[in-house]
Structure 1
Amino acid sequence: MNNVTTEVFAADDAGLSSAACVLEQGGLVAFPTETVYGLGVDARDSDAVARLYQAKGRPSFNPLIVHVASLEIAEKYVVFDAVARSLAQAFWPGALTLVLPLRLDAGISPLVTAGLDTLAIRVPDNSVAQGLMAAFDGPIAAPSANPSGQVSPTKFTHVQSQMAGRINGIVDGGDCGVGLESTIVATQPVPTLLRAGGLPAEALEAALGDTLALAGETTAPSSPGQLASHYAPKGTVRLNAVDVEPDETLLGFGAIEATVNLSPSGDLVEAAAALFDALHQLNALGAEKIAVSPIPDNGLGRAINDRLRRAAAPRSGAAT
């Protein structure tokens, strides 16, 4: 897929209609959601999904998230239990992905599910994504629009710099508001947090009236986002740094001097939205060793720390 012509589509009716035509023809189109930019293909087209894996350099054993426009459409592809339905009604559209049993007649490519009998699915809360789904009128499988294992894109320029020449198109929809990938939850056999993300686990637990179980990392993921090494900048990463070595570049949090600061005011929402762009900035600066200030491990801080731990993990077959 290298050296293909990458067309830029405006985020208007004409642009989204053209982007949908590319999807219908089996092409790869990046588009914004409220979380990060996704790299979309027709989730029913195995050839297109195979080209997506190739373009990203993503292991084919790592499942993909399917994006649809509504709960009613999601019901065509997966089976909801009472807990899943209550979470969907509470948090969709939004940064929640549910992993649910796949309907036998769903027509989803087995490459999307990595051969599993479950499907990761969500309804994005972004007008451009919703417009593209309406124009395409089908399920869109979309991991983050970046080379596998590298930093997820939250701006059009991130996608353009990393994926131009590899994919068929990019919808220029501005910046992503949340800036962290979706939170992933399975509801069977018990409600389980598979990946912390843009929807705080505390909000889910408040809706459930119970604590979420936690899933471990694995080399054979049951959902997207479970590989240990992920979101990696070019430099090595040292976490919870209370001091900075002379050869390190500081990624700060709070009222401290830093080369790049996620939130000088210590706001976790601001830090979450800035995280991936900050890692892109550090790449652009050529930072070889990155020290990261301590970040509170609550609310969105839990997801920020999850991404930073994966960014700091040894590099071996990472994928997004």
Structure 2
Amino acid sequence: METTRFTRDTLSQAAAQLKTGQLVAFPTETVYGLGANALDQEAVKQVFHVKGRPSDNPLIVHVTGLEQVMMYVDEIHPLTKTLVEAYWPGPLTIILPIKEDAFPSVVTGGLSTVAFRMPDHALTLDLIETAGVPIVGPSANLSGTPSPTTADHVLHDFTGKIAGVLDGGATKIGVESTVIDLSDPTGVPVILRPGAITGEMLSETTQLMITNEPVVLKGTEAPKAPGMKYKHYSPKTNVIMVDSNDFEQVRRYLNEKALRAGILAGPTAAAIVRAEAGAIFMYQNDTVEAAAKGLFSGLRALDECQADLDVIFVETKEEHGLGYAYMNRLKKAANQQKFTNND
């Protein structure tokens, strides 16, 4: 299969491919999504197939606004319109109960709810509008690996496997959207996956206490949102988290062990271990915004570099605001492994 890099000029061709059941990746402000017609069961099955995604991991449906959402839902939580007005288009995914048979069960993971999002990217909103259908859009990467933040990342994973990718440049945020559960019309909203829309922001908007801490599944409980159950975001190379003030210890450790280490950090921490590092991917600055934007692209770049690395050390951030989302992804990429002074 030929995989085409679509642009604004060829957007109508990308939409036509979606309408005929093909897969087309698309940009958002968070990461690139792997798009398929959400109403086409066979097309959605192909999303799971090419990603290697577990079948009980539900998908997010991308729409052009609340008017399109209302075609598929009945009763909505009273806060739905408030949150939509505050954060759409944007990195907030809202889980709502849907009408019976509104979407194929492969979209819902067998649940009676669907996660909806209106992405903040003009190209993709035009794509959905031109295609005339809502589109599913899990991250456009092989399941479990770092999410894609450029069209080149998508092509690396899926050339020859999908119809194409709509190239909208590098993403602005770099980590996936916040997912909030509004499926109980009488319940307090709950964050299922942290993102750029933080609990503090949602609490201020709703006048309710909404914590940043994501829900942890119990036993065989089915996930309502992506990122809740399975291993995510991991490159092939082993990842270890490092607190900012421990990079001097890392420098000594590398001298002692003679390891080929990749460093993913801001300029201050990276400078400490520059001479000992096998390869460095440096965030634009020391802010959490720069770290979130560069996390996945940095993991990919270091994992695929020619230095044949033994390990990738990644700088941690404080867990507040966007730091919750950053650390949520980093902890999963590192399988909770953290450097200590005793290593």
TM over 0.5, yes or no?
yes
Instruction: Pick which of 187-196 and 252-261 moved more.
Output: 252-261
Higher relative contact order structure (alpha carbons within 8 Å, sequence separation ≥ 6)? 1
Instruction: Report the counterpart of residue 121 of structure 2 in structure 1.
Output: 126
Q: Secondary structure at the match of 2:242?
A: coil
Q: Structure 2 vs 1, CA of residues 85 and 142 (structure 1 numbering), >3 Å: closer, same or farther?
A: same
- Give the whole-Å Cα distance in 1 for the aligned partners of 2:127 and 2:112: 27
Q: Secondary structure at the match of 1:119?
A: strand
- Report the RMSD for the aligned CA atoms in angstroms: 1.7
- Give the whole-Å Cα distance in 2 for the aligned partners of 1:157 and 1:211: 40
Match of 2:282 among 251, 261, 264: 261
**Offset of 1:98 from its aligned partner?**
0.5
Instruction: Report the counterpart of residue 339 of structure 2 in structure 1.
Output: none
Q: Structure 2 vs 1, CA of residues 88 and 293 (structure 1 numbering), >3 Å: closer, same or farther?
A: same
1:275-310 Cα deviation digits (max 9, x unpaired): 111111111224331122231111111100000011
Instruction: Report the counterpart of residue 318 of structure 1 in structure 2.
Output: none
- Give the whole-Å Cα distance in 1 for the aligned partners of 2:230 and 2:137: 20
Larger Rg: 2
- Give the whole-Å Cα distance in 1 for the aligned partners of 2:76 and 2:8: 32
Instruction: Report the counterpart of residue 207 of structure 1 in structure 2.
Output: 205
Match of 1:227 among 226, 229, 239: 229
| 2:86 aligned with 1:90 | yes
- Give the whole-Å Cα distance in 2 for the aligned partners of 1:45 and 1:51: 10
Q: Structure 2 vs 1, CA of residues 228 and 48 (structure 1 numbering), >3 Å: closer, same or farther?
A: closer
**Offset of 1:197 from its aligned partner?**
1.2
Indicate if the aligned counterparts of 2:22 and 2:43 stay in contact, CA closer than 8 A: yes
**Offset of 1:211 from its aligned partner?**
2.0
Indicate if the aligned counterparts of 1:96 and 1:182 stay in contact, CA closer than 8 A: yes
Instruction: Report the counterpart of residue 113 of structure 1 in structure 2.
Output: 108
Instruction: Report the counterpart of residue 300 of structure 1 in structure 2.
Output: 322
Match of 2:294 among 274, 277, 292: 274
- Write the letter of the residue equivalent to 2:198: P
In structure 1, stretches of 5+ residues that fail to align are 315-320
| 2:62 aligned with 1:67 | yes
Q: Structure 2 vs 1, CA of residues 254 and 190 (structure 1 numbering), >3 Å: closer, same or farther?
A: farther
Match of 2:3 among 1, 6, 11: 6
- Write the letter of the residue equivalent to 2:268: A
Q: Structure 2 vs 1, CA of residues 163 and 136 (structure 1 numbering), >3 Å: closer, same or farther?
A: same
Instruction: Report the counterpart of residue 239 of structure 1 in structure 2.
Output: 241
Match of 1:190 among 170, 188, 213: 188
Indicate if the aligned counterparts of 1:198 and 1:300 stay in contact, CA closer than 8 A: yes
- Give the whole-Å Cα distance in 2 for the aligned partners of 1:20 and 1:298: 39
- Write the letter of the residue equivalent to 1:85: K
Indicate if the aligned counterparts of 2:265 and 2:291 stay in contact, CA closer than 8 A: no
TM-score by length of 2: 0.85
**Offset of 1:254 from its aligned partner?**
5.4
- Write the letter of the residue equivalent to 2:45: A
- Give the whole-Å Cα distance in 2 for the aligned partners of 1:59 and 1:105: 21
- Give the whole-Å Cα distance in 1 for the aligned partners of 2:81 and 2:24: 30
- Give the whole-Å Cα distance in 2 for the aligned partners of 1:280 and 1:41: 25
1:18-63 Cα deviation digits (max 9, x unpaired): 1111111110000101111100001011111111110101011000
In structure 2, stretches of 5+ residues that fail to align are 275-279, 337-343
Q: Secondary structure at the match of 1:239?
A: strand
**Offset of 1:145 from its aligned partner?**
0.5
TM-score by length of 1: 0.91
| Corresponding pairs, count | 307
Indicate if the aligned counterparts of 1:160 and 1:170 stay in contact, CA closer than 8 A: yes
**Offset of 1:7 from its aligned partner?**
1.7
| 2:212 aligned with 1:216 | no
- Write the letter of the residue equivalent to 1:271: A
1:51-77 Cα deviation digits (max 9, x unpaired): 111010101100000000011111112
- Give the whole-Å Cα distance in 1 for the aligned partners of 2:99 and 2:129: 22
Instruction: Report the counterpart of residue 251 of structure 1 in structure 2.
Output: 264
Q: Structure 2 vs 1, CA of residues 221 and 205 (structure 1 numbering), >3 Å: closer, same or farther?
A: same
Indicate if the aligned counterparts of 1:229 and 1:310 stay in contact, CA closer than 8 A: yes
